[in-house]
Structure formats: structure tokens, C-alpha cells
A = this chain, B = another copy of it.
Amino acid sequence: MNLKQLAKELNLSISAVSKALRDSHEISPATKKAVLAKAKELNYQVNPFASGLRKQKSKTIAVIIPEVVNDFFGPVINGIESIAQEKGYHVLIYLTHEVEQKEVAIINLLQNGRVDGVMISISAQTSDTTHLEALKEKGIPLVFFDRIVERINAPKVITDDYNSGAVATNHLIENGCQRIAFVSLPNKLTITQKRMNGYLDALKNIHIKKDNSLILFCNGDEHKDKDLIRNLLKRKDRPDGIFASVEKLAIITYEVCEELNLNIPADVKVICFSNLKTAGLLNPSLTTITQPAFEIGREAASILFKLIEKKGHHFLLEKTTINSKLIKRISTEKTSGEK
């Protein structure tokens, strides 16, 4: 079913039908009604390829994320999709699996009009960012969320990483930890840096100085990361507290603890960024920093759509920060509170 057939059915020209469908002012109400009725009857749908080709817009955005195996990116997708559905946009999803090369390949796929805009949370391994700059050069709106590239001039939606890092560390300190390790993704990620700075300043406050042997930079590869964490916990001077900067590393930490027969929280206390919003299902000994993932998705998508719609206007919503929540669970009584 296409315009031509529809026009024939109605004894109208193709362009009249096309205009009627887009509610043009130059078509009489009567014909509009007739067209709409017929279109519905025959279940006519505009061919997105023809229309996209002609209008040079796709009504589609791309979301590029490392993975969907944790409870951060899931809700983010939810948030993005909810806004996109409102706006009548379609959402393409691409996973980098933390591999820089895949990220580059994916970005290259998007250079030729397939999408009207891109949202990305960069891979842990990405260091060169020319692919992203190239995309921006082509005039394709770009929004970063969570894992951002500081030096690229594009809107960014993040959480209050520095502060969260400090709060998390303080929480361990309050629970009696002395040797607190920071387990994180590569140092090049801004989330790593900021969370670490919060961690370091919290320690500095109580006059503990930086101990590089307690700072672990993983790289996103599950096996390698597990080895690193195992080594950390096997040492006789192992930490009594661990601040895991991302959920996945906390999970690995838990697995290693089980393997080494270390009791949490008796032997080691753990706190992590995590969105397992399943309070009841959580191990009661785990305190989490929870990011408002759904809101981050919605916010980033809203900004992207503003950019798409106002394309050409030189307006730049710079960084947007959405606060995360501390959900306390280390202490014996199961209380939970906000920061």
C-alpha cells in the first residue's frame, strides 16, 4: 500500500493525498477527512525510506552503550525510549562490549543519515575520540551520558560523581574501615577520575594518604578484572573496605570473596555504584550508590531532541548533573536513607 494506490482509490493526485496526510493548510477539510478515512481503512503507513530519503531525516536516534547486563543501562534505555515514543522517534541500539574498535565501527555506520542524533556512553577502553569528533563535524547531534568525553563540546548528562565518591568512602570510614580500596574502570574515564577524587579527598579528610596499591584500574574484561581483584584480596594486608566504582566490579568482588571464603561484611565491607533497585533482593550487607538511571535516560534524550529540532541554533546545554542516592545497608539494622 503506497501513496499512488491510495490516490487512485480516492481519485486524487498523489501530492494532494500526501499533503492531506500531513495536514497541510492547502487542502480542504472535506478531502482531508476522506483521505484520512481511506488511509486508516487501508492501513496506509508512510514508507520511512522514501520519506527519509526525500526529507533527509530519519526520525531515528542511536543509543550506544557498553552493555545491557546491569541495572544501569536497562533503565536508561527505558527512559530514552519513553521520550522517543512521545516524540515519534525510533531507537536503534548498539553495544560496544567495552571494545574501542567496535565503538569506532558503530559510529562509522551512523555517518550517512541513518540517524538524526546519537546518544553515547563511551566504552571503558576508548582513548582516541576522533570518531566522535568526526560525527560531530558531520553535524549529527551528539549527547553524552554517564561516561562522557570531557573535551568534546556537546551536552553531557552525568551524576554527581565526585560527591558520590566521597559519600561512599565516608560511609566505609564510618563503618570502621581503615584500609579502603578503590576498584574501578580505567583511569581515562571521567567517572573513574571523579569518583576517585571523591574517594581520595574523603581519605585526606581523616589524614589517610593515597596508597596506590589500594587503587585498582580494571579494563572491562571480566576475566582480567577478576584476576586483579583476586590478587588484591589474596594479599595478607588486604583491604577491610572496598569501594567499587561500578556494579559489575562489585559483583566480581563478591564472587571473589565467595571463592576465597571471605565474609562480607565481617571480613571486608563493600560499597558500590549499583542500580539493583531490588532492595529486598540485595544482600543486606551491601551499601549502594544508586544513580537515577531512568531520569538520566529521559534527560539525555530530551536534550538530544532539542538539539535535533533546533539544529543550527548555536545553543549548548552544557553539563547536566543529576544526583545519585546512597542506600545504606552495611549496618545491621536495615535502614535506608538519602544523601
- Count A interface residues, CB 8 Å: 58
Contact of A281 among B102, B109, B251 (CB under 8 A): B251
Chain B: which residue is nearest A53 at the CB level? B49
Please judge, given known A-B contacts A113-B48, A113-B49, whether A75 and B69 are in contact too, CB under 8 Å. yes
A78 partner residues in chain B, CB cutoff 8 A: 67-69, 95
Query: Could you say how many copies of this chain the assembly holds?
Result: 2
* Cβ proximity bits A159-187 to B, threshold 8 Å, 1 near / 0 not: 00000000000000000000000000000
Among all A-B residue pairs, the 9 with the closest Cβ atoms? A254-B280, A45-B112, A49-B53, A68-B74, A49-B52, A251-B278, A48-B114, A49-B49, A74-B74
In the complex the two chains form, what is the Cα distance from A254 to B279 in whole Å?
8
Task: Verify if A243 is at the interface (C-beta below 8 Å from B).
Answer: no
Q: How far is the CB of A198 from chain B (nearest CB, A)?
A: 23
Task: Verify if A217 is at the interface (C-beta below 8 Å from B).
Answer: no
Please judge, given known A-B contacts A74-B70, A278-B251, whether A81 and B94 are in contact too, CB under 8 Å. yes
Interface residues in A60-108 (C-beta closer than 8 Å to B): 60, 67-71, 73-75, 77-78, 81-82, 85, 90-95, 102, 108
Task: Verify if A12 is at the interface (C-beta below 8 Å from B).
Answer: no
In the complex the two chains form, what is the Cα distance from A262 to B168 in whole Å?
30
By the criterion CB–CB under 8 Å, are A69 and B74 in contact?
yes
Looking at A69, A70, A81, A258, which has the most chain B CB atoms within 10 Å of its CB?
Answer: A69
By the criterion CB–CB under 8 Å, are A77 and B52 in contact?
no
Task: Verify if A292 is at the interface (C-beta below 8 Å from B).
Answer: no
